[in-house]
Amino acid sequence: MAEFLVVPALLAYGEAAFAYAGELRGPGLAGRLATWGVRLGWLAQTALLIGQGVSAEGFPWGTWAGALNLFVWLVVGAYLIWGCTPRYRLLGLTVMPVAAALLALAWAGGGTALDEGDRSGVVLAAHAVLMLAGFAGLMLAAGMALLYLWQERRLKRHERSVLRVRMPPLDALDRLAARTVLGALVVLTLGIGVGAASFERGDFDAAMVVTLLILATYATLLVLRHEGWRGRRAALLNLTGFALVAIVLPLTHFAG
């Protein structure tokens, strides 16, 4: 029964994604509907994850689809913390369509079903959760970078609607993206540290190389930002880093 909770979660996320597009015409009902969509969807997905956790004997999110399910929950949860405030509401426009699409993919791949889960130990489970939480933070940061580039383009082109459509301020997006990357890197480093506890000689694989590459890319971003690489260049580097997370990491991690 619990596995059917994916349907209301998906519907609510989808509704939120559409409603955020309505918010582009100006703040109002669409934005509030979107916010409620996010909240209700997240609650439904939380109940689904609890159901999966209770019914499984091991870690229920070890497959690529299961990991995607947990990843979406973490992304939306992180977004809920502050993204739903009216000032940053349009961030949902970059986050919720992706979240809805990924949850649909997780559903199609069987990641929302109730099963026994794999028999990974607690350490590996903690490693997986921390890594996914770190990547969720990086996805939010990428959403901010995307929004930054969009808002910058509008300002550069002197779009007439620049004051009518309420976008988050440019400088705030830049700062928040950097802080989110910093937070995500801390969580990722913790995750890598926990994973290293069960590391054995010969375990080193392509996924680990890419993970370290991601860590290095974002660390470089933070260092360069400190040296003056802010704004557009930082946003582009942020998106490059996330391309590694979104495209290369799943291939290297789950291809086998």
Partner 1 sequence: MKLTLAGVSHHKAPIELRERVALDLETCGALAERLEGEAVLLSTCNRTELYLVQEEHAEELAVATLAELAGDRGDDLSAALYRLRDEAAALHLFRVAAGLDSLVPGEGEILGQVRTAFEAGSVGPFLDRLFRQALHAGRRVRLETAINESPASVPSAAAALAQQVFDDLSGRRVLVLGAGKMSEATARNLVSRGADVAVVANRTLAHGEDLARRLGAQAIELAAIGSELERADVVVSATSASDHVVTRDGVATALRARKGRPLLLVDLAVPRDLDPAINELDGCFLYDVDDLEAVVAETLSGRRTEAARAERLVADEADRFREWQASLDVVPTIASLRALAEEIRDSELARAGGRLSESERKHVESVTSQILAKLLHLPTIRMKEAAAAADGVVYADVVRHLFGLEEEERRR
Tokens encoding 177: 């993206």
In the set 225, 237, 241, 245, which binds partner 1 (CB under 8 A)?
225
In the set 3, 24, 32, 126, which binds partner 1 (CB under 8 A)?
32
The answer to whether 242 and 217 have CB atoms below 8 angstroms apart is no
Cα–Cα distance measured from residue 23 to residue 194, given in angstroms and rounded to the nearest whole number = 42
Cα–Cα distance measured from residue 99 to residue 218, given in angstroms and rounded to the nearest whole number = 22
- Site for partner 1 contains 227 (CB under 8 A): yes
CB 137 → partner 1: shortest distance, Å?
21
Give the helix/strand (H/E) hosting 139: helix 122-156
CB 244 → partner 1: shortest distance, Å?
23
- Site for partner 1 contains 230 (CB under 8 A): yes
Give the count of residues interacting with partner 1 (CB under 8 A): 32
Cα–Cα distance measured from residue 187 to residue 215, given in angstroms and rounded to the nearest whole number = 11
Binding part of the chain for partner 1, among 107-115, 167-175, 208-216, 246-254 by CB under 8 A, reads 167-175
Binding part of the chain for partner 1, among 24-32, 95-103, 119-127, 199-207 by CB under 8 A, reads 24-32
Closer to partner 1 at the Cβ: 19 or 130? 19
- Site for partner 1 contains 93 (CB under 8 A): no
**Coil, strand or helix at 118:** strand
Bridge partner residues of 118 (DSSP): 59
Closer to partner 1 at the Cβ: 7 or 162? 162
Cα–Cα distance measured from residue 232 to residue 53, given in angstroms and rounded to the nearest whole number = 42
Cα–Cα distance measured from residue 64 to residue 67, given in angstroms and rounded to the nearest whole number = 5
CB 174 → partner 1: shortest distance, Å?
8
Closer to partner 1 at the Cβ: 115 or 152? 152
Closer to partner 1 at the Cβ: 87 or 253? 87
- Site for partner 1 contains 220 (CB under 8 A): no
Binding residues for partner 1, rule: CB under 8 A, are 26-29, 31-32, 86, 151, 155-156, 158, 160-164, 166-172, 225, 227-234
